[in-house]
Chain A
């Protein structure tokens, strides 16, 4: 791969990562969120694959394929199971309307650029220049977590956060050591499975997955 096309593909992948996060903030249809999550998984996997091809690193290519299978196929399928038997497939009364949501995204992206200056400065390469985009995805994940009320949306927010962190890891250091990557992937998968089962239990005992209904525990 030539240097320019390498940089282009890398930037496209990081841009796709951010774009899918922005669309998550925009959309209210829960099924659409799951599809976006899948697309984001593809964009995320494209980063290690591109890096692996560029660095002629077969192990990194392998990690990229594994990440793709996990984040673009397996995890979205588990999340989609939260949609089965779901009465209303749309987000309930949003805390933040679409316009203010997108404005918040713009602010968070600027914030991501400001905070990651020291990261880019330490080692200015095409890969580290894309770190702010990944960091913005992390912040957008937190935004989704605090402004959405449905169980599925919260899980999607959590996964945005996680995908963003994984992207930072690939862009900054071409991935963490394999044992950590494996452990972290397993943890994410298990956490999503746990949340999916808890979502099922929640629907059975609360009759829905609106987290605004969680009001048993307070001071």
Chain B
């Protein structure tokens, strides 16, 4: 049973990729992809029930796979966002095929790569070995490179080139860090299993501090690249703005936080090995710089997909602050933030994709009076932004309050104050852009620049609306009460060694 719960979320997307590769793109193979996402979600819930039933420190293991409460939370995040994104992908691909923007071969490649992308993220969360975690995070870059370049425009090619180069360099640094951690671990005990996370944790107090300091810095920079943390953040906005909308939803909603969950595990080892100060300072510096970059680029932003990308950057900065605080409240809030941000951002990227389909442009100034011109898209954009801005009763309000309280409890007064100022700047910028897009006079002919009636028909189908409604409803429900999830989040935070 335990082994099945660990293998199913890995095998389901691999199976979906095989089916898509063999049968090509059609509605049926697309639904297999949706089913794979649902499997990941269900396995996450199943594993959560298992670890919660067996008390603190519980893990489910099978071979090289291992699920603790954090892994269960991350599987739920991957599954939930993937469900929205694969569902929205059905209409996205049908619309592109109908509009002649992609070929059947392009659609097949898209379906295969999205499923492989999901499998690599699941492996990154479930692998017990830091080296295998690294391999799977690097594999996410390989599997998404052609998804970012899916449209084959000059901008898309440029974005995917920069994405692969910047992420390969960053993740290369993480590999060097992994190698050094292995070096330290083999010198503190036997080489067998020396990179297993559980063994690294057990050996952490005996690891050579000089080597671990170097390893820790490299791991922070390297995995931080995939989170989008400064200094390797430049790929993020380009890739998110050029990728197809459902892929942007997956990258922003899941990929960044999967990479962040790796940082949480690394932090746990380094805190035991070097004391809490080392990683905390690194996270605070990178997190606050990331927040600052995001806030100031949001102010002058002219492209709504890039706006959403920089908003993701802002939220990753907040996660870094929460991780730096490291109290149980802050880490539990961090994990709630990951889930709520994933859902809200997925809704927004899917909406933005449909908006782009309808208007043929991603410029903020080309969209006005959306609420009256296209109420469906307008409402979903408005709902998503309200959720994203952290207004009550949406879940991001609860998680942001939790992060601030946790950070204050950890005596991070000044960093928290600075972060709040930057969040306010970002809030103002996002709200201003959103109001400009939602209100005002509708543009004379929204379909003028290319998409035509096909786009409008796709955007208003009920099946296309459902992921948005579900995502917002989930975000709202989580904000009112996280229910049994609260217990899981606190268990995960405790499992990461966060003191209450």
Q: Which residues of A contact B (CB under 8 A)?
A: 115, 117-119, 121-123, 138, 142, 145, 151, 154, 158, 161-162, 165, 168-169, 172-173, 176-177, 179-180, 183-184, 186-187, 190-191, 194-195, 197-199, 201-202, 205-206, 211, 214, 216-217, 219
Contacts and interface: CB of A to CB of B under 8 A. Distances in A.
B183 A195 contact: no
| Category for how many chain B residues contact A | 35 or more
A168 B179 contact: yes
Contact of A158 (B138, B169, B194, B238): B169
Interface string B119-161: 0000000000101101110110110011001001111011111
A194 B164 contact: yes
Contact of B138 (A138, A145, A173, A187): A187
Nearest to B144: A194
A7 B301 CA distance: 58
A187 B161 contact: no
B211 A118 contact: yes
Given A118-B210, A219-B300, A201 B135 contact: no
Contacts of A158: 165, 168-169, 172
Nearest to B153: A205
Interface string B295-329: 00100110000000000000000000000000000
Contact of B187 (A115, A122, A180, A211): A122
B161 A198 contact: yes
A162 B172 contact: yes
27 contacts: A117-B210, A118-B214, A119-B211, A122-B183, A123-B187, A142-B169, A158-B169, A161-B172, A168-B176, A168-B180, A172-B179, A173-B186, A173-B191, A176-B179, A180-B129, A180-B131, A180-B132, A180-B134, A183-B136, A190-B142, A191-B164, A195-B164, A198-B161, A216-B154, A216-B158, A217-B155, A217-B237
B265 interface: no
A183 B131 contact: yes
A198 B183 contact: no
A118 B64 CA distance: 31
A203 to B, nearest CB: 10
Contact of B184 (A122, A138, A176): A122
B179 A198 contact: no
A191 B297 CA distance: 30
A217 B159 contact: yes
Chain B CB count within 10 A is highest, among A190, A197, A198, A214, for: A198
Contact of A119 (B164, B214, B297): B214
Given A162-B172, A183-B136, A217-B155, 16 more contacts: A117-B210, A122-B210, A161-B169, A165-B175, A165-B179, A168-B176, A169-B182, A180-B129, A180-B132, A180-B134, A184-B131, A187-B139, A190-B142, A205-B154, A205-B157, A217-B242
Nearest to A219: B297
A176 B182 contact: yes
Contacts of A214: 158, 161-162
B297 A217 contact: no
Contacts of B155: 216-217
Nearest to B239: A217
A176 B131 contact: yes
A177 B195 CA distance: 8
B293 to A, nearest CB: 10
Contact of A121 (B175, B210, B213, B241): B210
A122 to B, nearest CB: 5
Nearest to A206: B154
B208 interface: yes
B449 to A, nearest CB: 18
Nearest to A164: B176
B201 to A, nearest CB: 18
B405 to A, nearest CB: 34
A123 B195 CA distance: 18
A174 B159 CA distance: 37
B374 to A, nearest CB: 27
A191 B211 contact: no
